[in-house]
Amino acid sequence: MNKKKLSIIILCVSFVILALGVSLFFYFRNKNNTNSDLINQNFEPNSQIIDQNIDYSSDKNENKSNNEKQNVDNSENKNPETKNITIQKLTHYEQFDDKLLKIKIEVEYPVISNENHSNFIDKINKGNKLEAEKEFNRCKLNLKQTAEDMIGYGNYYPDTVLYYYENCEITRNNNIVSMIIRGEWFAGGVVDRLLKTKNYDLKNSKELKLTDILSGSKKNIIKMIKEKIREYLGSDYELYDDYFKNQDLKDYKFHIENKNSQDILVIDFSRYEIACGAAGAISIEIPFSDIKQKYKIDLKI
């Protein structure tokens, strides 16, 4: 074999090796990007929550690595019964490690207008604000520490967002104000969710419990609630009877809504509280008319 043929063979082999190397490079790069996207999807169950009003590439956000503010929603409320209640929001956004790791915190709380200078309404507003600020500061401290730990161990994927989100929804029916808070927390592990409710009787200056709404024996009230839950879930899930035996009625989470001019009692349960996790967070609606006529349970309001 002459030198010319040998050179051609070596050149061809080199070209094949180079082509193979380039192909492998792009294959593994695309595979890593795909895996990263899948992982990010796992910890971002609601991208609208995480990315809402955020522009990761803007200079404005780059210069506000430690930004806290209060936003007041002054837009006209579509529900005339809640037009005198506004929602304020505490927010914190911060970027770490060359903007590859971020934290986002949003905590909402209601403010009831107090033209008549009611001491009870003033107490409600101060209490809700204080509780929101306490939760906000606790989450900010915890998420910042988590971010620093993840950077130290190198244990995170690019564009990871650690977050705490707390949304507040308000309904008002005459002198009854109902408030439900739903939250989500992600700090690098399993997404955790929370649920809280508060109900106020402004006329009588009282925070309401379920026993202030329903009158009757615990046995009959539980029977009504379990019947509505089974109707909602069908036969696919078993209920945790221990919850209904041990939980005091006054500790049940609930809120009141008005739909199509009909008052409705909504009983709210957190995930895993009364059934397996696959059942999710359960809320059952019981019209006031059904409570009185179908279930023969009296209403106190």
- pLDDT at residue 51 above 90? no
CATH of domain 47-207: 3.30.565.40
The answer to whether the CB of 209 falls within 8 A of the CB of 265 is: no
Q: Which residue has the higher pLDDT, 236 or 299?
A: 299
* Residue ranges covered by each domain of the chain: 1-42, 47-207, 210-299
How distant, in Å, are the alpha carbons of 36, 97, 146, 156 from that of 39?
A: 5, 19, 18, 10
- The whole-number pLDDT of residue 178 equals 95
The answer to whether the CB of 131 falls within 8 A of the CB of 109 is: yes
Residue 189, Cα to own-chain centre: how many angstroms?
A: 15
Q: How confident is the model at residue 99 (pLDDT cuts 50, 70, 90)?
A: confident
> What torsion, rounded to 10 degrees, do the Cα atoms 128, 131, 136, 141 define?
170
Dump pLDDT digits (tens) for 170-221.
988 878 999 999 999 999 887 778 899 999 999 999 999 999 999 999 999 9
Dump pLDDT digits (tens) for 124-146.
999 999 999 999 999 999 999 99
d(CA 142, CA 48): 23
Helices (H), the chain: 3-43, 47-51, 59-62, 119-153, 218-233, 241-246, 288-293
**Six-digit token pair at 102?**
């971020």
pLDDT-wise least confident of 27-31, 130-134, 153-157, 168-172: 27-31
List residues bridging with 23 in a β-sheet. Answer: none
d(CA 241, CA 274): 8
Q: How confident is the model at residue 39 (pLDDT cuts 50, 70, 90)?
A: very low
Q: Give me the amino acid identity at 112.
A: I
Backbone angles phi, psi at 285, to 5 degrees: -105, 130
Other beta carbons within 10 Å of 231: 9
The answer to whether the CB of 220 falls within 8 A of the CB of 294 is: no
d(CA 63, CA 17): 47
Q: Which one of 3.90.640, 3.10.20, 3.40.50, 3.40.30 gives the CATH number of domain 210-299?
A: 3.90.640
Q: In a 3-state reduction of DSSP, which class is residue 110? A: strand
